[in-house]
Amino acid sequence: MLLESRVKEQGSILARLGEVCTDPLGYAREWKARTGGLVVGSFPMNFPSEMAHAAGALPLIIQEAEDPITAGHGLLFPFYCGYTRSTVDQAANGELDVLDAIMFGDHCVQLLGAADAVRMSLKNTRVIFFQLISSMCDPWTLGRAKESFEKLREELEDFLGRKVEDDALRESIRLFNRDRQAMRKLYEMRVAGQISLTATEMQYVVKSAMVMDRREHLELVEALVAGATENSPAPEKRAIRLHLSGHFCQAPKPELLDMIEGCGAVVVGDDLYHGFRYISTDVGENGDPMEALAHWYLDRNTGVPCPTRVQNDVDWDAFLLDAMRKENAEGMIVLMAKFCEPHMYYYPEVKEAFEKAGMPHLLIETEHESMALEHIRTRVESFLELVKRRRGAAPVVTSAAQGEVA
């Protein structure tokens, strides 16, 4: 009975996180009605949500909606990515009215265009823009990052009408770190084969953290970790172990993730934004919290490199190969959002590095509109068959000096 009860509890937790992911703005409206607090939205990927949380607001990273683009067609070019077009469409249709303020960053040209379109649609919503330095290895990078966060803090204080106190900020940092650590524990258990969370379920865990009150989210994730430690069945041993890469702003569609694993694969790791990229790096808990946030900004790009940043001493392709070795992943599927310029520019380097390393990978271009899943399924099945053949093939070593084959 205890085991059955724990399994039901895990199922209900995942169902709750899935509900939040399906309707993030609905959660924000419910939270706002329940608490009377303000909701501060932001674009991905570098907004320090701890800052808004420390001021008593609900930080919410704006998510791509499932709805087709309607009013947004007249406000943004059709060759912009699905995330930006969906965000503008939500603003034009009044769905983002629940947000009291929006924070915009500048990590790609399309997000800048979307920011202008959203600003025109949400005339009563405070729009705050902050620009982070994109060159990560210059002597002045840390100072410039701290300066940007200080200005953001001032803007938040002016909007919220209250100070973001250092002690409150440290408390929020500790809370967010604890939540990140709990989610990373689930990743570690998945790599070790101790749990069988699907890729969609893992996405629910991370994506919901971008939306929910962080204490509420932490309670659910810690209960999930405790239950999974004791009761979760191990994944199928013969399934192909995959790493998923890409998707910097929007979450991959659950039906795509389910299809990939339904073809006989198990996702053991990723560097998706709605995945390990988001939770990879903690913020220092001692000293000046603004200094700690500036270090966090630099450290997270060293931990999980991003092609929207420039850093000479780290390579995304090298990170991917190293991560896959640690995960014992047998292949990688690259999910590239259509028209994502940073990803398109960098992908040739990843492709070249993987070909040199003899590591199989498959590129799948995704889009906001409906995808031909059956066509993609055929490609995934063919790719997994290739990986299976490589798994079963005996290594052949030729000696040029002796003409021997071992």
Letter string b/e over residues 50-83, b meaning 16 or more CB atoms within 10 A of that residue's CB: bbbbbbebbbbbbbbbeeebeebeebbeeebbbb
pLDDT band at 201; cut points 50, 70, 90: very high
CATH level 2 (architecture), domain 35-165+236-390 = 3-Layer(aba) Sandwich (3.40)
Mean pLDDT across 93-97: 95
The yes-or-no verdict on residue 395 having pLDDT over 50 is: no
Q: What is the pLDDT of residue 397?
A: 35
pLDDT band at 333; cut points 50, 70, 90: very high
Mean pLDDT across 164-177: 97
Q: Is 112 helix (H, G, I), strand (E, B) or coil?
A: helix
Q: What is the pLDDT of residue 9?
A: 77
The yes-or-no verdict on residue 106 having pLDDT over 80 is: no
In whole angstroms, what is the distance from residue 398 CA to residue 348 CA?
A: 31
The answer to whether the beta carbons of residues 165 and 181 sit under 8 Å apart is no
What proportion of the chain, given as a percentage, has pLDDT over 90?
75
Query: What are the residues facing 104 on neighbouring strands?
Result: 129
The yes-or-no verdict on residue 171 having pLDDT over 90 is: yes
**What is the rounded average pLDDT for all residues in the chain?**
90
Q: What is the pLDDT of residue 390?
A: 87
> Which of 231, 213, 235, 228 shows the shortest CA–CA distance to 183?
228
**Domain extents for the chain?**
35-165+236-390
The answer to whether the beta carbons of residues 151 and 157 sit under 8 Å apart is no
The yes-or-no verdict on residue 5 having pLDDT over 70 is: no
In whole angstroms, what is the distance from residue 84 CA to residue 112 CA?
A: 9
pLDDT band at 113; cut points 50, 70, 90: confident
Q: What is the pLDDT of residue 370?
A: 77
Q: Between 100 and 127, name the one with better pLDDT.
A: 100
pLDDT band at 95; cut points 50, 70, 90: very high
Q: Convert the pLDDT of each residue in 297-331 to its tens digit.
A: 999 999 999 999 999 889 999 999 999 999 999 99
Q: What is the pLDDT of residue 401?
A: 33
